[in-house]
Amino acid sequence: MIPDTYSKHLQQLLVRLGEAFPGDESGSMHSSLHISNDELESVLEQLNGRLSQHYPFHQPWYAGQMLKPPHPAAWLAYTLAMTINPNNHAFDGGPESSMMEKEVINQLKAFAGFPENALGHLTSSGTIANLEALWIAREIHPDRAVAVSSQSHYTHHRMCRLLQIPVVEVPGDENGLPDPALLDHSQPLPGTIVVTLGTTGLGRVEPLHRITDWARDHQVRIHVDAAYGGFYHLLRDTGTIDADPWRALPDADSLVIDPHKHGLQPYGCGSVLFRDPSVGRFYQHDSPYTYFSSEDLHLGEISLECSRAGASAVALWMTLQLLPLKPGHGLGEVLQCCRKAALHLYDRLQQSERFHPVMEPELDIVTYVPVTEKTTFSGVSSRSAAILKAGMEAGLPDRLYLSTLALTEEEAHRWLPDLEADQSSVTVLRSVLMKPEHLDFVPEMMRRLEKLYEMTG
């Protein structure tokens, strides 16, 4: 899973890093921390057995949930940094790792088209990043609701309950995309509207470019939740995605992107950016025993979280040094492979007699249904569930890890009008092609899908 060259570099760097710190050269620990080699080997054997029960996230035949291993360079940097265990709450806890965090945040700001003085930091997850954005939304407009679409991530509702903010749902247009012009304008308008660039179910990109003008006309802030899809901003001028929503990204008031998704990072590494640096006033607090080694702004002074792993910043910094935020190479090339894989699979599904795509993928999530004798919600749902189970249980070389998604009756009638609604929803198959290796795997994936169809017939 980790190429030998990275493991060898780790061993060499651990020695060099140890030499950089003064102290006991023997590397001995206090007696209270000592563990015998026999005990260590015994527990390591148990640990290896437990970890081996996980699904093979690193393999292209895992195309289920939004899971993939970090890049080996990120693993190497994270592991090396964890031997020091820096804390990016304050410069005192992580002087260099804090500077690396500021450097990667500057790269993310430039990438998103935000001004240089925009505020931002890494977080332990996209959920926490969105929580911070919604908290700022409440502080700016304490008496106004937050508007979300029906496709927004469920955490927005949950975080709004936590923050005691009312939530209104933005009605959808004929394509199921949010259109704030359809809100009841006789009622108080929301203070902030959440626009999702890359929904976690279907991978849809909501029309930020159309929502922006409405929001500005009505003095409504825009928060962009691009936790999943954000790095696809790199492809906005390549002709492989609809560029219009992405070109409006610099107009957002706040933005969330998760490097631990398409940014090839270990969990957890999210990020939040605010266009207006004056929102830092809402974070203001006093900690006289924490902030004393630097007059510069400490990251803990602009974050709801206190202790945060500096290793996350170190890993992201190293990754972006090697795979920069460029459309034609680096991370852009990686995403281009994922996008092409999704389009390739969509084309193959259109040609298949056993599967039909639900909709053309907008990013790298592909949804599809098995062709069934009973053209009903229940018939398709039953066959989808059977294929999911068979794929997980099949022996090699036919094993294939997929996921499923429940579509509402309204969604199904939009994309699957020939199905009879004999129940309230229909379960469809879903593949997340977020690894570049998926591009070459698509023909083999179709072979395995066809085999699973036969097995469940």
Contact 165, 142 (CB under 8 A): no
**359 domain residue, yes or no:** yes
Same domain membership, residue 409 and residue 382: yes
**64 domain residue, yes or no:** no
Same domain membership, residue 169 and residue 270: yes
Q: Is 241 exposed, middle or buried (0-12, 13-18, 19+ CB in 10 A)?
A: buried
**169 domain residue, yes or no:** yes
Distance CA 339, CA 445 (A): 16
Show the 3-state SS of 360-398. Answer: CCCCCEEEEEECCCCCEHHHHHHHHHHHHHHHHHCCCCC
Same domain membership, residue 244 and residue 356: no
Backbone angles phi, psi at 420, to 5 degrees: -90, 130
Assign residue 246 the CATH number of its domain: 3.40.640.10
Of 322, 354, 377, which one is at a domain's C-terminal end?
Answer: 322
Of 290, 322, 354, which one is at a domain's C-terminal end?
Answer: 322
pLDDT digits (tens, 9 = 90+) for 101-123: 999 999 999 999 999 999 999 99
Strands 192-196 and 221-225: parallel
Same domain membership, residue 386 and residue 277: no
pLDDT at residue 328 in the model: 87
Same domain membership, residue 336 and residue 308: no
Domain count, the chain: 2
Contact 402, 389 (CB under 8 A): no
Distance CA 232, CA 363 (A): 8
Distance CA 319, CA 265 (A): 8
SS3 category, 87: strand
Distant-in-sequence, close-in-space partners of 130: CB < 8 Å, separation ≥ 6: 153, 155, 156, 159, 223, 225, 227, 256, 272
List the domain range (segments joined by +) for residue 379: 331-455
**50 domain residue, yes or no:** no
Contact 212, 180 (CB under 8 A): no
Same domain membership, residue 315 and residue 187: yes
Distance CA 330, CA 319 (A): 9
**76 domain residue, yes or no:** no
CA angle 408, 410, 413 (to 5 degrees): 105
Same domain membership, residue 254 and residue 152: yes
Q: How many residues are given for the chain?
A: 457
Assign residue 413 the CATH number of its domain: 3.90.1150.170
Same domain membership, residue 203 and residue 337: no
User: Taking the CB of residue 424, how many other CB atoms lie within 10 A of it?
Assistant: 9
**77 domain residue, yes or no:** no
pLDDT digits (tens, 9 = 90+) for 148-160: 999 999 999 999 9
Report CA-CA distances (Å) from 130 to 118, 260, 263.
17, 15, 18
**348 domain residue, yes or no:** yes
Same domain membership, residue 273 and residue 203: yes
Summary count for the chain: helices (H), strands (E): 13, 11
Same domain membership, residue 368 and residue 241: no
- Strand order in 167-169's β-sheet? 119-123, 270-274, 254-257, 221-225, 192-196, 146-148, 167-169
Strands 425-432 and 270-274: unpaired
CA angle 376, 382, 388 (to 5 degrees): 135
Same domain membership, residue 413 and residue 314: no
Strand partners, 256: 225, 272
Same domain membership, residue 135 and residue 276: yes
User: Taking the CB of residue 197, how many other CB atoms lie within 10 A of it?
Assistant: 28
Q: What is the pLDDT along the chain (457 residues), one digit of tens a residue?
A: 788 898 889 888 888 888 887 665 555 678 899 999 999 999 999 999 999 999 999 999 999 999 988 999 999 999 999 999 999 988 888 899 999 999 999 999 999 999 999 999 999 999 999 999 999 999 999 999 999 999 999 999 999 999 999 999 999 999 999 999 999 989 999 999 999 999 999 999 999 999 999 999 999 999 999 999 999 999 999 999 999 999 999 999 999 999 999 999 999 999 999 999 999 889 876 655 454 445 566 788 888 898 999 999 999 999 999 999 999 899 999 999 999 999 999 999 999 999 999 999 999 999 999 999 989 999 999 999 999 999 999 999 999 999 999 999 999 999 999 999 999 999 999 999 999 999 999 999 999 999 999 999 8
**307 domain residue, yes or no:** yes
SS3 category, 69: coil
